[in-house]
Amino acid sequence: IAGITQAPTSQILAAGRRMTLRCTQDMRHNAMYWYRQDLGLGLRLIHYSNTAGTTGKGEVPDGYSVSRANTDDFPLTLASAVPSQTSVYFCASSDSAGANVLTFGAGSRLTVL
């Protein structure tokens, strides 16, 4: 089934550890996004990529980095996790940067202790 695969589904992490959330899409979408969802704050854009080889900062990029080496993969890395990064992370993709139909993954629940 075409779509977005995120891994891991959930993870408990000690503060200070490095963590990479994986995201793979098989729809050949050009644009990809990482959002975090927190209670009362909705969805906030962390980083995005309009096309392979390019990335940009979203609303809350601090403490996170991304790379887009190819069309399909868009990993999100927390270099040194902190408790405030406890959240549910959603990867999404769209056919183009201006497309309104975003396809979301099922999310990765991250707990930083």
Partner 1 sequence: GQQLNQSPQSMFIQEGEDVSMNCTSSSIFNTWLWYKQDPGEGPVLLIALYKAGELTSNGRLTAQFGITRKDSFLNISASIPSDVGIYFCAGRGGYSGGSNYKLTFGKGTLLTVNP
Residues forming contacts to partner 1 in the complex (CB under 8 A) are: 4, 35, 40-45, 48, 58-59, 90, 92, 97-98, 100-107
- We find the least distance from the C-beta atom of residue 30 to partner 1, in angstroms, to be 13
- We find the least distance from the C-beta atom of residue 45 to partner 1, in angstroms, to be 6
**Start-to-end C-alpha separation, the chain:** 35
Nearer to partner 1, 48 or 64 (CB): 48
Q: Please give the full DSSP string across 68-89, using - where no structure is assigned.
A: -SSSSB--EEESS--GGG-EEE
* DSSP state letter for 30: S
